[in-house]
Every structure is written in structure tokens, then in C-alpha cells.
Amino acid sequence: MEAPVERGWQAGDIAATREVPPNGAAPCHVFRMTVRVGYHETDGQRRVHHANYLNYFEQSRVEMLRAAGFDYRRLEDEGLMLVISELNVRYRGAAEFDDILQISTWVTNVRGARIAHHHQVARDGQVLVECDLICGCIDATGKVRRLPPNWVRHFAPDGTSGGSAEP
């Protein structure tokens, strides 16, 4: 019998490892979490509404930070925030109500005030949705600010002080 998975993530449903990501790029920290599709996330055909994948990506980015020992709330308390400046989503298939999905997230580029992520949503190993996005770091007035240096060091895909996991 399959272990129950609640909506959102549970301690046993997340993993963060340094590895070669599924796209074969340079080794980096790959974060994975498992979600079960809730009925409220679906449209009239019981498929996940396209906009809800953005919520999965956001949740995964925040949990990736937490798993790495960084606290997004603390970043905001210090007057910084991440805003999405670019977003490209590719839909290859549809997830449906009650599906168990694996969300994989990794940083593809980090330097200065920008951090780029790649997200994959898969069901039973089949990639359904992919997303590339860039977040910019700003302060409360909207002025661009550099990312904290420890973030850059940690998430640099090539293990340097900043770099790229783009193939």
C-alpha cells in the first residue's frame, strides 16, 4: 500500500542533495518535495489549473531555502525580498486531482542580485511541467540589492562564488 502524502510537504517527503541535475548540467543542490494534488487546485476537467504550478514552484523555492538552512522570512525582516523578473513555463502533460507529484528545483545561475531556478514537476518519473525563472533581489523601496554572499556561495552550481549550471 502506498504511504499517504498530505497536501504540501512532510519531513519524509523532501530531499536536498548536491548532484548532477536531470538536465545533465554541472553538479548543484537539487531540492525535491512531494505534493498530492488537491481538488481545489484543479479545473473542470480535474486537471491542475495551469496557474497553480506557479504555487508549487514558489513553495519549492521557499522550502529549498529552508532545507539549505536559509530563512526567507528572515531575509524579508532584514529588508530584502526576491521578486520574479522572468518566467518561462513549458507544459508537457497534465497532473490531475489526487496525483502525487515530485517537484524538483535547482539553482542554474546565481550572481549579484539575481538567482535563476529550474523547476520540474513529475508524476511517476514523467516530467509534466518545466519552468525557468529569475528572481531579483530588491529592498523595500524597490532598489536592486545584491544577494547575501552566503547564498551565492551555497547555491553556486559550479561550486565557485557564483556561476551557472546552464548546459
- Taking 3-state DSSP, the helix, strand and coil percentages for the chain, each rounded to the nearest 5, stand at 20, 40, 35
Over 10-79, what HEC string results?
A: CHHHEEEEEECCCCCCCCEEEEEEEEECCHHHECCCCEECCCHHHHHHHHHHHHHHHHCCCCHHHHHHCC
Q: Is the dihedral of CA 125, 13, 59, 109 positive or negative?
A: negative
Catalytic residue among 43, 71, 98, 139: 43
Judge contact between 41 and 51, C-beta under 8 A. no
- Calculate the CA dihedral of residues 17, 72, 81, 119 and round it to 10 degrees: 30
Whether 139 is catalytic: no
Report the catalytic residues.
43
